[in-house]
Structure 1
Amino acid sequence: MTLASTPTPRFDTFYKHDALSRLLFDYADAHPDLVTVQSIGKSHEGRDIWVAIITNTHTGADTDKPAFWADGNIHAAELTASTACLYYLHRLVTGYGQSTDEGREITQLLDTRTVYLCPRLNPDGAELALADRPRHIRSSTRRYPFDEEPVEGLTIEDVDGDGRVLTMRIPDPHGAYKKCAADPRLMVPREPGEFGGEYYRLLPEGTLKHYDGLLVSVNRDVEGLDLNRNFPTGWRQEFEQVGAGPYPVSEPEVKAMVDFIVAHPNIGAAISYHTHSGVILRPMGTRSDDDMIPEDLWTYKRFSDLGAKLTGYPAISIWHDFKYHPKEVISGTQDWLYEHLGALFWVVELWSPNREAGITGYKWIDWYREHPVEDDLKLLKWSDEHCDGAAHVEWKLFRHPQLGVVEIGGWDKMNFWRNPPPALRESEVARFPAWMTRIALSLPKLELLRTEVRALGGDTWRVRLAVANSGYLPAYISKRALERKTVRGVVFEIHLPQGKAEISLVGGKPRFEGPQLEGHAVKTSMQAFLPNREVTADRAVAEWVVRAPKGTQIALTARADRAGAVRTSVTLD
């Protein structure tokens, strides 16, 4: 059989659903021993939600190995998140078996662990964002909370048909904006108490219904869901959490992810890719660091610092540093995977146009409320010099069907803010494979230490199975998982040949739960006064007494939910 060649994707391109589907299956065709593609469910509009399962199948099934999950594009227009997953997939399959340092790490990773990649959790919303006349909604295309079309107000959309959704400006003495003195292309806020100048009213590009010539209200998208607020942990109703849906996991896209992860308890760590801000976000979203389990906080900080070192992105707390409003909390995927399941989880907000333009020392969310005009000028300079002037579009006259003559222009938020310009997309997502691989290689890994058979006389034998966790992290991953009782200790099983009366289990249980296994992460430094008293807490031993004729072969299994499985056999002799 002749295998297909490895695809050569374009990371400066955002793929529509059909092309993305073909690309994933092309990888599976080219590398059948490493990649399989599975639909984990259907979107609201019936599109498949694909997961690429990447592991060396010759060294075991994906479910028998500890696993790392990454997803992207849960939010419709955050398309670079999908690129980040595709880029990692490409690096994994092309790096496997190579003699470089990265190749050796990838080979070790796929021989011993599994990577689950879901490049587009929200295919409907992405398809709308990629339409010829796009709309940039938050998430799902399902209408929520009501099904009716708006009867009045402004609906945000591409009015002039140029494939962009920009800003409309209208001269108005009561307007809140004026032209920047340093560069009249920029619109900047009026100063407190300022009057007597040329002012403008700014509106999102869109069309109006029942316009009375005076009042304009901007309608919320009729597709008002935010899939990232539909996860079960911390779910709140609409009056507290906009877009959360009618009940937890009501949306098919979220249910597909939840069902898959619950059915794969081997997933011990995960990243969800979003845009934008250029920052790594760690839990918790609903509590402060002081309220976290200290051991888990230490682990999060250790891996977050590693992420900052390898990617160049700062790593911060959601609760302390990334709130949309100081009186609000943000719940989402991170709350469910960590707070509910006890798996490690990060959100990565890809891309920072601010940082690209040389703006430093800004506060993530607060910057959007208020910042100096010098920052806007830096961004405009960046647009001119590095984006051919396309990040900030020149204002052009347009005869609007309801408003008359307006100007359309300003910042192209979809193509230069929510996402990097095409030439910068690959370099942006290339920051992350090394960190993801390091997290995955740190997952617990159950390994066989030894088996022992000792004759006790009279066709009676003592059988022992010893296993160890060779991973950095403990087999339970986090103290939160122990607290939530979402992981068991090592489960040992002995499998005796069936239907033979002369074979029986004399001592021990056919299946029993052993201890939780620690990893090789040190808990204190060498200078600590108190010694580590759990020097072999990474090991466990099972013992049975069997009555069977000499030469009988007996199968043994050990499994830890997040550390994988060991299968072996012994012969009684």
Structure 2
Amino acid sequence: MDVRFDRFYRFAEFSEILQWYAATYPEILSIESIGKSFEGRDIWVLTATNIKTGAAADKPAYWIDGNIHASELAATTASLYFINTLVTQYGKRDDITRCLDTRAYYICPRMNPDGAEWAMRDSPKIVRSSTRPYPFDEEPVDGLDIEDIDGDGRILSMRIPDANGNWKCHPDNPRLMIAREPTEYGGQYYRMLPEGSLRDYDGYTVKVNKDKAGLDLNRNFPAGWRQEFEQLGAGPYPTSEPEVRAVVQFICDHTNITGGTTFHTWSGVLLRPSGTTPDDDMPAEDLWEYKRQGEKGTAITGYPAISTYHEFRYHPKEVITGTFNWIYDHLGLYEWTVEIWCPMREAGITNYKYIDWFRSHPVEDDVKMLAWADRELSGQGYVDWYKFDHPQLGPVEIGGWNKLLAFRNPPPHLLEKEVAKFPDLLIHQALISPKIEIYDLKSERVAEGTFRLTLVVQNTGYLPSYVSKRAKSRGQSRGVIAEITLPTGAALVSGDVRDNMGELEGRAYKPTLMSFWTDPCPTADRAVTEWVVAAKVGEKVAITVRHDKAGVSRGTVILK
């Protein structure tokens, strides 16, 4: 199958692609539906690991999802591109081979298949997220419905001459609409409306209708959930929506998940928690580690790594929650939100504030954006104004920014280049996970028919077995469990059949060699336990070592 990364796929073809990958690379990929969307579409998850080196459940795993917001289609492309990178580069790239041999991925490329399908219709319908009517299942009786009024497959803007309008043509480029100066008077001005149709128009006033489908699935996660009056689109209760409930259930059932990345668009940034509280409320060690990961992420992708709370709030008096808040705050896993694509950066605009820029920016930025769109998008990113006889408004002009093409996602010819930035980041994030291994397992005869078994385990991963200080404080893992299985007729003289060896540190959270703080336990990545067994010479004893996050290791010892 010719899978391309310069286009978006509707659900039927998208599903066929995933099934093809799983059928073509069965030694690495498997596929399952973890639930159904509101409209009954499968929510697909692919598991990626080398099954010859062990089951995914026995390895530390990393979660990836995308396209929770309806029109953020590049998030699906990023996931597909990563899947393709894994299967085509396994055995060729050492890091990918090691990753799939020792770790696993759970990849949900399209968490919101209904909304994505609406966005890709021949006449697109753009909603924030789910297509379920909320909070009310009724059509508006008046107002403007945003839609493709002229049937050309685009949703643009409408401009109407109005002496009291807020907008005017740029003096050097009349195609471009810019804000009228506060005290300006006597020119040609326009009132700007979204493209759409009006219900019960009185000839004077226009209000833009909210989407009947008013849910935001990213606000439906348990951590920091708030009612509609505080957080729009959050749903009637946490995980009320089938898409969110399926993902939450899957992640909770797969305790080997050690971190995650959720793909969104657009801003060209790497967002870290928290969305609701300042950095001072985060355990210091976790904040330091988040900043280290962010620096690495920036080096790989070129995207700035920033705090959601401090640098990405939609309004200074409001806070937002999402997948990232729940995965870190409740589960203590390092989770990142990748906002794919930044047209402003492509246009040469630098040092801008990620959210504030949308409220206000210099006219020079508009000029740069228009020049970029003309150069890169062949006149499709910013559409010249054309006349249209509107059924309710009469003569209007339609044109302006084609936001779905230029802003919401990378344009098709730039799509693959953009999503190619992320595989190395996802490999790094998986490989820093904790990894439990048996360091030594030996037997010693202490008397006739009696043997002492010594087990040494170690964490060969970078992160500690408990992953983060947040997870440790939340009791999200119970430590390294060593379990002994004796041959028939043998007896355990001392030691526990199931022994909790505690948590193991990794290489994170360590001071530098120049620090005046001495590492109090340089071997905190190791633990030792012993058993005494009564058995016959030559018999085999099996040992299983497991950790909720750090995987499973097995060994046998012959009694000598």
TM-score interval for Structure 1 and Structure 2 normalised by the shorter chain? over 0.9
Q: Which residue does the alignment assign to 2:522? A: 535
* Residue of structure 2 aligned with 1:180, choices 170, 187, 193: 170
Q: Is the 8 A contact 2:260 2:335 kept in 1?
A: yes
What secondary structure sits across from 1:389 in the alignment?
coil
Q: Which residue does the alignment assign to 1:245? A: 235
Q: Which residue does the alignment assign to 1:280? A: 270
Q: Which residue does the alignment assign to 1:194? A: 184
Inter-partner Cα distance in structure 2 for 1:556 and 1:47 = 43
What secondary structure sits across from 1:464 in the alignment?
strand
- Displacement of 1:198 after TM fit? 1.0
Matched, 1:560 2:552: no
Unaligned segments of structure 2, at least 5 residues: none
* Residue of structure 2 aligned with 1:74, choices 68, 71, 88: 68
Inter-partner Cα distance in structure 1 for 2:493 and 2:138 = 70
Q: Percent identity?
A: 57
Q: Which residue does the alignment assign to 1:339? A: 329
Q: Which residue does the alignment assign to 2:29? A: 35
What secondary structure sits across from 1:170 in the alignment?
strand
Q: Is the 8 A contact 2:461 2:507 kept in 1?
A: yes
- Displacement of 1:456 after TM fit? 2.4
What secondary structure sits across from 2:406 in the alignment?
helix
* Residue of structure 2 aligned with 1:548, choices 522, 531, 535: 535
Q: Which amino acid aligns with 1:97?
A: G
Inter-partner Cα distance in structure 1 for 2:74 and 2:275 = 23
- Displacement of 1:288 after TM fit? 1.0
Q: Which residue does the alignment assign to 1:325? A: 315
Post-superposition CA distance 1:316-344 (Å, at most 9, x none): 11111000000111111111000100000
Q: Which residue does the alignment assign to 2:94? A: 104
Mean CA deviation greater in 447-456 or 332-341: 447-456
Q: Which residue does the alignment assign to 2:493? A: 506
What secondary structure sits across from 1:193 in the alignment?
coil
Post-superposition CA distance 1:56-84 (Å, at most 9, x none): 00000001101111111000000001111
- Displacement of 1:522 after TM fit? 5.8
Q: Which residue does the alignment assign to 1:144? A: 134
Q: Which amino acid aligns with 1:466?
A: V
Inter-partner Cα distance in structure 2 for 1:257 and 1:570 = 41
Matched, 1:85 2:75: no
Matched, 1:479 2:473: no
Post-superposition CA distance 1:120-150 (Å, at most 9, x none): 0000000000000001100000000011111
Q: Which amino acid aligns with 1:420?
A: P
Provide the alpha-carbon RMSD of the alignment: 1.1
Post-superposition CA distance 1:435-454 (Å, at most 9, x none): 11111111111111111112
Post-superposition CA distance 1:233-285 (Å, at most 9, x none): 00000000000000000011111111111111111111111000011111111
Matched, 1:461 2:451: yes
Mean CA deviation greater in 488-497 or 55-64: 488-497
- Displacement of 1:496 after TM fit? 2.6
Q: Which residue does the alignment assign to 1:525? A: 512
Inter-partner Cα distance in structure 1 for 2:517 and 2:227 = 49
* Residue of structure 2 aligned with 1:374, choices 364, 373, 377: 364
* Residue of structure 1 aligned with 2:221, choices 224, 231, 239: 231
Q: Which amino acid aligns with 2:382?
A: H
Inter-partner Cα distance in structure 2 for 1:182 and 1:474 = 60
* Residue of structure 2 aligned with 1:119, choices 109, 114, 127: 109
Q: Which residue does the alignment assign to 1:350? A: 340
Post-superposition CA distance 1:208-231 (Å, at most 9, x none): 111111111111000000000000
Inter-partner Cα distance in structure 2 for 1:148 and 1:522 = 54
What secondary structure sits across from 2:357 in the alignment?
helix
- Displacement of 1:86 after TM fit? 0.7
Residues 7-86 of structure 1: pairs in structure 2 closer than 5 A: 7-86=1-80
Residues 394-473 of structure 1: pairs in structure 2 closer than 5 A: 394-473=384-463
TM-score by length of 2: 0.98
Inter-partner Cα distance in structure 1 for 2:77 and 2:527 = 42
Inter-partner Cα distance in structure 2 for 1:520 and 1:375 = 45
Inter-partner Cα distance in structure 1 for 2:96 and 2:490 = 44
Q: Which amino acid aligns with 2:238?
A: P
Q: Which amino acid aligns with 1:456?
A: V
Q: Is the 8 A contact 2:285 2:509 kept in 1?
A: no
- Displacement of 1:505 after TM fit? 1.8
What secondary structure sits across from 2:63 in the alignment?
strand
Inter-partner Cα distance in structure 1 for 2:115 and 2:499 = 47
Inter-partner Cα distance in structure 2 for 1:208 and 1:13 = 33
Inter-partner Cα distance in structure 2 for 1:522 and 1:301 = 12
Q: Which amino acid aligns with 2:371?
A: K
- Displacement of 1:549 after TM fit? 2.5
- Displacement of 1:457 after TM fit? 2.0
TM-score by length of 1: 0.96
Inter-partner Cα distance in structure 2 for 1:525 and 1:572 = 43
Q: How many pairs does the alignment contain?
A: 560
- Displacement of 1:547 after TM fit? 2.0
What secondary structure sits across from 1:303 in the alignment?
helix
What secondary structure sits across from 1:243 in the alignment?
coil
Inter-partner Cα distance in structure 2 for 1:138 and 1:545 = 62
Inter-partner Cα distance in structure 2 for 1:513 and 1:229 = 38
Q: Which amino acid aligns with 2:341?
A: W
- Displacement of 1:491 after TM fit? 1.0
Q: Which residue does the alignment assign to 2:250? A: 260
- Displacement of 1:405 after TM fit? 1.5
Q: Which residue does the alignment assign to 1:4? A: none
Q: Which amino acid aligns with 2:66?
A: G
Q: Which residue does the alignment assign to 1:3? A: none
Q: Which amino acid aligns with 2:236?
A: P
Q: Is the 8 A contact 2:501 2:527 kept in 1?
A: yes
What secondary structure sits across from 2:555 in the alignment?
strand
